[in-house]
Amino acid sequence: MAKSTSYESKVPDSNGIISYSDEENAVWRDLYARQKALLPGRVCDAYLRGLEALELSEDRVPQLKDVNARLNEISGFGVEPVPALISPKKFFTLLAERKFPAATFIRRREEFDYLQEPDVFHEIFGHCPMLTLPTYADFLQKYGEKALTLDKSYIWMMQRLFWFTVEFGLIRTEEGVRIYGAGIASSAGEAPYSVESAKPERRPFDALTVFRTPYRIDIYQTVYYVIESAQQLYDLVTSDLVPIMDEAKRLKSLPPTYPPKEEAGAA
């Protein structure tokens, strides 16, 4: 849901095939190899099991139609190719229909380490493994359904919820705190930082606090929220969120824990 992009979406042909160049396939191969080596011991077991179950190609960009078929078989979820920019309503509608909206372009080699907008590597490698977990897939569907029922004045808080869970969430396990958020799982720098660095705060997940927490999209996060289980997220989005959101509005946003953009160094 980036506001602008210099990338052009790739459109599937009449057979649902998206064409990628040799260099684009090489970028996928190198990204995949790097993250596969980094994630064990840092990402949750559900993610690793999901990655294995998806049977993604490691040497070339997987075709979304193949990922969609495999996901449907496992959890009844799917992926839908979309332009880089879609409206919040379209985004929520796709989730409510059990379809994860996925950008089709892949980053250029010069932006190998960091890309602000989500590319196909982030979408498929980052998001799709967790979508093999039925409770988590059900949570995302209910999240989309819930967002569609809310007045527009609440949408920014739903975006905060998405950010601190689906994108940058951590989960407590018997082995310790682990990654489940796609923004971390697809990042070579933030994966070790999120679970090992002493710099960020790791707070127990609390919806009221999450709704009040601002964030920046262009730096490593200064705050992470730690859930106990995917069931916790499902229970939240199937409850009445409006009173919690109204209380968050009344209390106003918490002070940022990050520097203003003009004072911050490069992430």
Q: Which residues belong to the active site?
A: 122, 127, 167, 186
196 annotated as a binding-site residue:
no
Residue 171: exposed, middle, or buried by beta-carbon count in 10 A (0-12, 13-18, 19+)?
buried
127 annotated as a binding-site residue:
yes
Helix (H, G, I), strand (E, B) or coil at 107: coil
Rounded Cα distance, 213 and 193, in Å:
20
97 annotated as a binding-site residue:
no
Amino acid at 48: L
Helix (H, G, I), strand (E, B) or coil at 83: coil
- The set of residues, in sequence order, having a beta carbon less than 8 Å from that of 34 and lying 6+ positions away, is 188
Contact between residue 170 and residue 195 where contact means Cβ atoms under 8 Å apart: yes
Where helices occur in the chain by DSSP H, the ranges are: 22-38, 45-54, 64-75, 88-96, 120-121, 134-149, 155-162, 182-185, 190-196, 207-211, 230-237, 242-251
What is the DSSP secondary structure assignment for residue 79, as one 8-state letter? E
Q: Give the residue from 72, 70, 238, 229 showing the smallest Cα distance to 141.
A: 238
Rounded Cα distance, 262 and 220, in Å:
16
Q: Give the residue from 18, 210, 267, 216 showing the smallest Cα distance to 119.
A: 18
Rounded Cα distance, 224 and 241, in Å:
21
Give the relative orientation of helices 45-54 and 64-75 as an angle to the nearest 10 degrees. Answer: 120
Binding residues: 122, 127, 167
Q: Which residues are documented as binding site for Fe cation?
A: 122, 127, 167
